[in-house]
Structure 1
Amino acid sequence: MASCRSGSDQQIRDLPAGTYKLVVSGRAGTYAFNSMWEVPAPQSFTLAAPYSISNGVPTTGAGNLETAASIDEYTLVTTTTKTWYMDWGTCQNSFYFNWELRTEAGSKFTNGMCNDQQIKDLPAGTYKLVVSGQGGTYALNNIS
């Protein structure tokens, strides 16, 4: 069972199949739902150096969060420890745009919004860049 307060979005994960009743309560007055839909599975992509992302690059679906619940996941491999600079070129709905860099084991290494960031001394290894937000296109210009 899930609940939320007025004016906040809610995502319910791993909801078992079945019939549900949506109950709305509170003060008298009108209300509305903008939309309600099934959350799509994350789209997964593999990046090769020089690690650029834009709408349709490196392949169809990349650089675009199709819904407010969409997640794009990019796998990238680094071979040496070095400092990386992430240049986010464009982000529609940038206030609601988030990214997270995870280690191969799945733990968060660093994260941010639609702002450029320098990542000092990123160890060699396999990483997953996870992008989420309210939907729209984005570009990451040459992670280097």
Structure 2
Amino acid sequence: MLDVVLLIGLQACGKTTFYASTLADTHALVSKDAMPRSARHREARLLREFAALLDEGRSVCVDNTQPSAAERAGVIATARAAGARVIGHWWRPDLPLSLERNAARQDPVPEVGLYAAASRWEEPALDEGFDDLVEHG
């Protein structure tokens, strides 16, 4: 069975580290972080890459902030259409910690991006289409 894992949380909360340590051997990765910041239509591009991987029969991890149900809906719908199981791993927002970690990055995200994601935050819920949700500290 195909698995789709959504990593949900503010920038610099630990999503990519979690992917590298837990899912890298079993799941292909799609992430807007792998695209140039100047790239146009990043969401559409991500969904195309994601759908192509599912069509190849690969389990996929989507590593983005995805702070709102609306932002998660396209990935969940695409996963469901492919018959995949959908698992969300999420990190409760800790804006001060994310700002601190982001500042220490080699290529930090502009702070306005963290504030914008925090302002759109909606706690994920099973009724969005998840089969399972796992909260991380």
Write 1 or 2 for the structure with the bigger share of strand.
1
Larger radius of gyration: 1
TM norm. shorter chain > 0.5: no
- The structure whose RCO (Cα within 8 Å, separation 6+) is larger is 2
TM-score of the superposed pair, with normalisation by structure 1: 0.29
